[in-house]
Chain A
């Protein structure tokens, strides 16, 4: 199957799932997440700790979200890490957050022994209205850190151990928001039987 037909298939799967899903008001969602982040900052008073908690929360969301995603799309195992990126950008993000981040593949090279891909967000319902105060930027707060955890948790449940990191963030003054996902290893010993 050529890449263009599988890309078209992913896109229509994402669009279709988005159409079938219940919707919530985007502003309400942004407000809810914002209230959460602000409360965490008040409670922990330490931006590193807030980052950690956001990632942990994301992890707990991810481990549950993956079953729902798989149940509703009926998708099976991806054939390689490249396809993981495609499905994540075109089906998952499209159906869950109504956005399709751009995808950049980073093939294996001598300086990068494991495959990776980057998701470039030019819009994000979580961060639409947010302006980080100076001290939050200096303190190292990564506002959308929850997304890193969601990706890590979701992929771990399908035996794919990854690191997911927001490597540049427009909220912190960078040119673009980039989330880089790098394969650590496949958890072969936990693979369900008979998966190709």
Chain B
């Protein structure tokens, strides 16, 4: 069972809605977990993760929902989706003024996902300093993986 401040995964979504980075740090948030939670059973082995294609679709769906939310909000000048809270998870999104989105999936009782996201943003900004990395393209770097893991795990 996950602790009360587990971060399950991180997504980084570029300005066009494409997923450029996705990493899962802890089990407990796979499609079957909500079902398992309902039946209050302990999972012996975790249900399989989503495929990378499914993550791409999820991310671009979120990108669209994020944008639509600011349009349909009854209060003008609203931002896009910042937090989605459910029984088994909390999804927090930080959007930079440049349009890049950082999404963190955590347990509902995670105390400070915004702070984690700020540090994710700083780690991403550091990665941009590699001149060989093309901005907006998928991030494939072990160093980035390591740095981000230590930020997310706290």
Q: Which one of B67, B70, B95, B125 has the greatest number of beta carbons of chain A within 10 Å?
A: B125
- Chain A residues with CB under 8 Å of B77's CB are 194, 196
Q: Could you mark each residue 90-117 of chain B with 1 if its beta carbon is under 8 Å from any beta carbon of chain A, else 0?
A: 0000011111100000000000000000
B58-91 residues at the A interface, CB under 8 angstroms: 66-67, 69-71, 73, 77-80
Please tell me which one of the listed residues B66, B67, B78, B128 contacts residue A67 in the complex, with CB atoms under 8 A apart.
B128
Judge whether B125 and A193 touch: CB under 8 Å.
Answer: no
**Given the interface contacts A67-B128, A71-B96, A76-B97, does A193 sit within 8 Å of B118 by beta carbon?**
no
- Chain A residues with CB under 8 Å of B66's CB are 193
Judge whether A68 and B98 touch: CB under 8 Å.
Answer: no
A195 to B95, CA, bound (A): 10
**Given the interface contacts A71-B122, A71-B124, does A195 sit within 8 Å of B79 by beta carbon?**
yes
B67 (CB) vs chain A CBs: closest residue: A193
- Chain B residues with CB under 8 Å of A71's CB are 96, 118, 121-122, 124-125
- Chain B residues with CB under 8 Å of A192's CB are 15, 80, 95-99
Judge whether B100 and A67 touch: CB under 8 Å.
Answer: yes
- Chain A residues with CB under 8 Å of B70's CB are 193-194
Q: What is the number of residues of chain A that contact chain B, defined by CB distance less than 8 Å?
A: 22
Please tell me which one of the listed residues A63, A190, A196 contacts residue B99 in the complex, with CB atoms under 8 A apart.
A190
Judge whether B96 and A64 touch: CB under 8 Å.
Answer: no
Judge whether B129 and A64 touch: CB under 8 Å.
Answer: yes
- Whether B126 is near chain A, meaning CB under 8 Å from some CB there, is yes
- Chain B residues with CB under 8 Å of A72's CB are 122, 125
Q: Within the complex, what minimum Cβ distance (angstroms) separates A17 from chain B?
A: 12
Q: Within the complex, what minimum Cβ distance (angstroms) separates B58 from chain A?
A: 18
- Whether B135 is near chain A, meaning CB under 8 Å from some CB there, is yes
- Whether A74 is near chain B, meaning CB under 8 Å from some CB there, is yes
A63 to B97, CA, bound (A): 13
- Whether A66 is near chain B, meaning CB under 8 Å from some CB there, is yes
Judge whether B97 and A195 touch: CB under 8 Å.
Answer: yes
- Whether A158 is near chain B, meaning CB under 8 Å from some CB there, is yes
Residues of A within 8 A of B (CB): 60, 63-64, 66-68, 70-72, 74-77, 157-158, 190-196
6 additional contacts, CB 8 Å, given A70-B98, A75-B97, A193-B66? Answer: A66-B98, A67-B96, A67-B98, A158-B97, A190-B15, A192-B95
